[in-house]
Amino acid sequence: MQRAVAFPALCLLLNLHAAGSFSGDNDRFLPIHQRKSGKPIFIHRHVQGIEKSLDTNHQKTYKHNVRSLFHSKVSNLQPGIIEKSTFPRSAYDPSLNLLAMTGQDLEVENLPVPAVNLIVVTLQMDVNKLNRTLLQLFRRGVASSLGIQPQQVHINRLIGKKNSVELFVSPANRKAGTFEALPSEEVLQSLDINVLHQSLSQFGITDISPETNVLQGQHEADKIWSKEGFYAVVIFFSIFVIIVTCLMVLYRLKEKFRFSLRRAKEKNQEIHLSPIPLQATQTETKTVNAMVQPRLAPKAVNTTVDPPNRGTADIKASISAGPSPFKMKPVGLQERRGSNVSLTLDMSGLGSVDPFAAVPIPREKVSLEYLQTASRVLTKSQLQDTVATSHVLQTEFMEIPMNFVDPKEIDIPRHGTKNRYKTILPNPLSRVCLKPKNATDALSTYINANYIRGYGGKERAFIATQGPMITTVNDFWQMIWQEDSPVIVMITKLKEKNEKCVLYWPEKRGIYGKVEVLVIGVKECDNYTVRDLTLKQGSQSQNVKHYWYTSWPDHKTPDSAQPLLQLMLDVEMDRMASAGRGPIVVHCSAGIGRTGCFIATCIGCQQLKEEGVVDILSIVCQLRVDRGGMVQTSEQYEFVHHALSLYESRHSAEAIQ
Q: What are phi and psi of 335, to 5 degrees?
A: -70, -40
The average pLDDT across 52-74 equals: 37
CA distances from 392 to 385, 396, 488, 601 (A): 11, 6, 34, 19
Q: Are 504 and 475 in contact (CB under 8 A)?
A: no
Instruction: Give the Cα separation of 25 and 451 in Å (integer).
Output: 100
Q: Mind listing the pLDDT tens digit for each residue in 138-156?
A: 888 888 888 888 888 888 8
CB-based contacts of 402, cutoff 8 Å, min separation 6: 624, 628, 629
Residue in 375, 376, 384, 380 with CA at minimum distance from that of residue 608: 380
The pLDDT assigned to 13 comes to 54
Q: Mind listing the pLDDT tens digit for each residue in 276-324?
A: 444 444 444 444 444 344 444 444 444 444 444 444 444 344 333 444 4
Instruction: Give the Cα separation of 155 and 159 in Å (integer).
Output: 11
DSSP one-letter code for 348: G
CB-based contacts of 370, cutoff 8 Å, min separation 6: 399, 400, 401, 621
Residue in 652, 643, 628 with CA at minimum distance from that of residue 564: 643
Instruction: Indicate the burial class of 383 (C-beta count within 10 angstroms; 0-12, 13-18, 19 or more).
Output: buried
Cα end-to-end span (Å), the chain: 146
Give the helix/strand (H/E) hosting 232.
Answer: helix 227-268
Query: 115-213 with 363-494+553-655: one CATH topology?
Result: no
Confidence of residue 194 (pLDDT cuts 50, 70, 90): confident
DSSP one-letter code for 434: P
The average pLDDT across 466-494 equals: 96
Residue in 517, 514, 462 with CA at minimum distance from that of residue 491: 462
Give the helix/strand (H/E) hosting 602.
Answer: helix 594-611
User: Residue 208 above 70 pLDDT?
Assistant: yes
Instruction: Give the Cα separation of 198 and 192 in Å (integer).
Output: 10
Residue in 621, 599, 147 with CA at minimum distance from that of residue 369: 621
Query: pTM of this prediction?
Result: 0.49
DSSP one-letter code for 97: G
The pLDDT assigned to 226 comes to 72
The pLDDT assigned to 404 comes to 93
- Measured from the Cβ of residue 236, the count of other Cβ atoms closer than 10 Å reads 10
Domain residue extents for the chain: 115-213, 363-494+553-655
Query: Exactly one of 246, 501, 525, 588 is catalytic; which is it?
Result: 588
Q: What are phi and psi of 206, to 5 degrees?
A: -110, -25
DSSP 447-499: EEEEEE--GGG-TTSEEEEPPP-TTTHHHHHHHHHHHT-SEEEE-S-SEESEE
CA distances from 528 to 266, 407, 465, 578 (A): 47, 35, 19, 21
User: Residue 431 above 90 pLDDT?
Assistant: yes
Confidence of residue 344 (pLDDT cuts 50, 70, 90): very low
Instruction: Give the Cα separation of 492 and 500 in Å (integer).
Output: 7
Instruction: Indicate the burial class of 375 (C-beta count within 10 angstroms; 0-12, 13-18, 19 or more).
Output: exposed
Per-range mean pLDDT, top range of 5-9, 189-193, 534-538? 534-538
The average pLDDT across 252-273 equals: 74
C-alpha neighbours within 13 Å on the C-beta side of residue 288: 0
Q: Which of 2-16, 452-466, 543-557 has the lowest mean pLDDT?
A: 2-16
Q: How many residues does the chain have?
A: 657
Q: Mind listing the pLDDT tens digit for each residue in 515-538?
A: 999 999 999 998 999 999 999 999
User: Residue 334 above 60 pLDDT?
Assistant: no
Q: Mind listing the pLDDT tens digit for each residue in 569-596?
A: 999 999 999 989 999 999 999 999 999 9
Could you tell me which residues are annotated as the binding site for substrate?
Answer: 554, 588-594, 632
Active site residue 588: yes
The pLDDT assigned to 491 comes to 95
The average pLDDT across 240-268 equals: 87
Percent of the chain's residues with pLDDT above 70:
66
The pLDDT assigned to 12 comes to 57
- Measured from the Cβ of residue 88, the count of other Cβ atoms closer than 10 Å reads 5
Does 3.90.190.10 match the CATH number of domain 363-494+553-655? yes
Q: What are phi and psi of 4, to 5 degrees?
A: -65, -30
Helix (H, G, I), strand (E, B) or coil at 283: coil
User: Residue 415 above 80 pLDDT?
Assistant: yes
Cα angle vertex 631, ends 524, 361, to 5°? Answer: 150
Instruction: Give the Cα separation of 644 and 378 in Å (integer).
Output: 11
- The radius of gyration of the chain's CA atoms, rounded to the nearest angstrom, is 51
Does 3.30.70 match the CATH number of domain 115-213? yes
Residue in 116, 113, 119 with CA at minimum distance from that of residue 179: 113
